[in-house]
Amino acid sequence: MIIYPAVDVREGKCVRLTQGEFDKQTVYSDNPVEMALRWEKMGAQYLHVVDLDGARTGKAQNIAVISEMAVKMGIPVQVGGGIRTIEMIETVLCKGIERVILGTSAVKDPELVKRAVKTFENNVVIGIDAKDGMVAIEGWEKTSEFKAVDFAKKMEELGAKTIIYTDISRDGMLNGPNLKAMEDMVKAVNIDVIASGGVGKLEDIKNLKETGVSGVIVGRALYTGDVDLKQAIEIGR
- What residues are labeled active site? 8, 129
In Å, what is the CA distance from 41 to each residue of 5, 47, 139? 12, 12, 30
Cα–Cα distance between 20 and 62 in angstroms, integer? 18
DSSP letter, residue 59: S
Residue 117 parent element (H or E) = helix 110-120
Cα–Cα distance between 221 and 174 in angstroms, integer? 7
Residues facing residue 217 across a β-bridge: 4, 196
Residue type, 84: R
How many residues in total does the chain contain?
237
Give 3-state DSSP helix, strand, coil % of the chain, rounded to 5: 40, 30, 30
